Structure 1
Amino acid sequence: MDWFYQFPSMDDNALRNLKKVIDETFRGFTRNYGDLIEGFFAPLQHFLIASERFMTKTPWPIITLLILAIAWGATRSIRIAAGCLVTLLLIGYFDMWDDTMRTISMIFVCTILSIAIGLPIGILMSRSDRVQRVVNPVLDVMQTMPSFVYLIPVVMLLGIGKVPGLIAVVIYAIPPMIRLTNLGIRLVDKDVLEAADAFGADNRQKLFKVQLPLALPTIMAGINQTIMMALAMVVIASMIGVQGLGQPVLKAIANQYFTLGIFNGLAIVGIAIMFDRVSQAYGERLQKHREVVHG
């Protein structure tokens, strides 16, 4: 009756050998192709370093004015712009400016990369049910896999540093971008597409002049969720050398520094609220514009 109480499993030796073969195969792959993969990601490293240098070396009044200009241009809301100003001033006052700028530069590069990769995949999914059936299970795995697990293959391939952390953050954060791009394009009114066909628009013109503009509010929601998930990954990515607000939090956990952890955690929350309010308000403005055009 042991089989009734204990689930039958693979023999211990066979399981150990299987794990050993998989681990050795992956190590062999990293030894043979690690340098090639690092060279492939070298431009990404240069972009990330340039972004971080700009954010940390530019005087804080200029960065503050730039962020406020972006917030105002996207939202046209004095309340949101004032909230951004207060958040930035508090971050600077509590001596977290440099770490915050490093985190913002990481989120910026991560968002650009997620849009560059996620938008074309979302478009392909919207055009083909077969592609959607293939990609959806992959996205399900990416969204449910524990975030720590992403660090293992990335570190084995690229070691410790900014780029491995960035790749791990992108893998964790990109699924909403892909899903909501696909959803936004699929929700475009069929009557509008029929009207475009009647005017002789080809597939390229329909995509860039009809589907993407009408799907933009939904795509903006995807960008918003990507930013939020990237910020949630900041502390975990600091374990493999990503500089920013995550490293003081990690140090606070290791050394039981309560105030250090709370202050930097609140700074992450402040950035998250800034990004969230600005991107949501911009998405709402796009939605109202679309309703006016169709009204």
Structure 2
Amino acid sequence: MMTFPDLHFHLGDYADKLVTFLGDTLQGLFDFIFFVSSRTINGISDFLIWVPWWAFILVIFLIGWYFKTFFSGVLYAAFIFLIGTFGLWEDMMTTIAIIVTAVIVCLVIGIPVGIWMAFSHGFSAVMRPLLDAMQTMPSFVYLIPAIFFFGLGNVSAIFATLIYALPPVIRLTELAIRGVDKEVIESALSFGSSRWQMLRKIQLPQAMPTMMTGVNQTTMMALAMVVIASMVGAKGLGEQVLISINRIDIAMGFEAGISIVFLAIIIDRITNGIADKFQKHKGAL
């Protein structure tokens, strides 16, 4: 039987040295990120818990009604109420806080990067393999540097979620900007529009429906990381799923799992509704 030659190339050692170097060199930056992220998550979570349960459910109903239909608003409100009856109200708020923080960071980073890629073919060529790696690398791998940089807790969850959920908003922002009608751009240039004016007044409004699809995908991928992130100490519904696995508690696991499903349905439908609103507005123009 032929065996593989006795050759060894320890690529992982270089990755380990890189992470160690970054941890030693940028420790101050990581401490600052930890401070800001933890304060943001705790602030959002505390605010959501402070809001009366009926007021939160009412807001969900109104958002669902405005962006979808009256029946959708009632259904989403019922989902939220049902999660509360499971005794998972505070866990749900923590999960929402983590998702909101992760998505905001993804949008702050992803949209400018996507716009840059749309305007620069060279930068796009460099970024695409990196985005491919971010999307295909097993999500558990992201937890290792997250723990190294930020320790256990919700901030590590944000870091891991960021890597996993960032590519869709970048890719779809680039696609949306590149997909704007060339004749419209040429008309704007003929009237003397600067690149900034063209981006702000023409390309971004035209690209918004596709960009909202990217926001939807990023949000859903952030929600998909909830359970995995619980392995690095993230609180919320994912932690309840992890506890139920350790205890082999079917009832607890089902309630926590179906709560995540309810949140996924609500977030998906509402973000799609927002995208539809933009699409209708674009069509009216």
The TM-score bracket by the shorter chain reads over 0.9
| Residue of structure 1 equivalent to 2:36 | 43
Q: Secondary structure of the equivalent of 1:174?
A: helix
| Residue of structure 1 equivalent to 2:4 | 7
Alignment of 1:1-295 (within 5 A): 5-11=2-8, 15=10, 23=16, 26-27=19-20, 29-31=22-24, 33-73=26-66, 75-293=67-285
RMSD: 1.9
1:55–1:101 Cα contact (<8 Å) kept: yes
C-alpha distance after superposition, 1:31-87 (max 9, x if no partner): 5643542124422221111111111222111222222333334x1521221111111
Gaps of 5+ in 1: none
C-alpha distance after superposition, 1:218-252 (max 9, x if no partner): 00000000111011100010111111100110011
1:237–1:246 Cα contact (<8 Å) kept: yes
Query: 2:151 is aligned with what amino acid?
Result: G
Matches of 2:14 and 2:182 in 1, distance apart? 52
Q: How far did residue 30 of structure 1 move?
A: 2.9
Matches of 2:135 and 2:250 in 1, distance apart? 30
Q: How far did residue 10 of structure 1 move?
A: 2.0
Matches of 1:174 and 1:131 in 2, distance apart? 17
C-alpha distance after superposition, 1:146-180 (max 9, x if no partner): 00000001101111111111111111111100000
Call closer, same or farther: CA 1:23–1:292 in 2, change over 3 Å.
closer
TM-score by length of 1: 0.91
2:64–2:70 Cα contact (<8 Å) kept: no
Matches of 1:240 and 1:30 in 2, distance apart? 18
Matches of 2:194 and 2:15 in 1, distance apart? 48
Matches of 1:119 and 1:84 in 2, distance apart? 29
Q: Which runs of 4+ in 1 moved over 6 A?
A: none
Query: 1:251 is aligned with what amino acid?
Result: I
Matches of 1:9 and 1:281 in 2, distance apart? 58
1:142–1:171 Cα contact (<8 Å) kept: yes
2:45–2:97 Cα contact (<8 Å) kept: yes
Call closer, same or farther: CA 1:197–1:24 in 2, change over 3 Å.
closer
Matches of 1:200 and 1:63 in 2, distance apart? 48
1:170–1:230 Cα contact (<8 Å) kept: yes
Query: 2:73 is aligned with what amino acid?
Result: A
Query: 1:123 is aligned with what amino acid?
Result: I
Call closer, same or farther: CA 1:22–1:187 in 2, change over 3 Å.
closer
TM-score by length of 2: 0.94
1:68–1:84 Cα contact (<8 Å) kept: yes
2:34–2:150 Cα contact (<8 Å) kept: no
1:80–1:278 Cα contact (<8 Å) kept: no
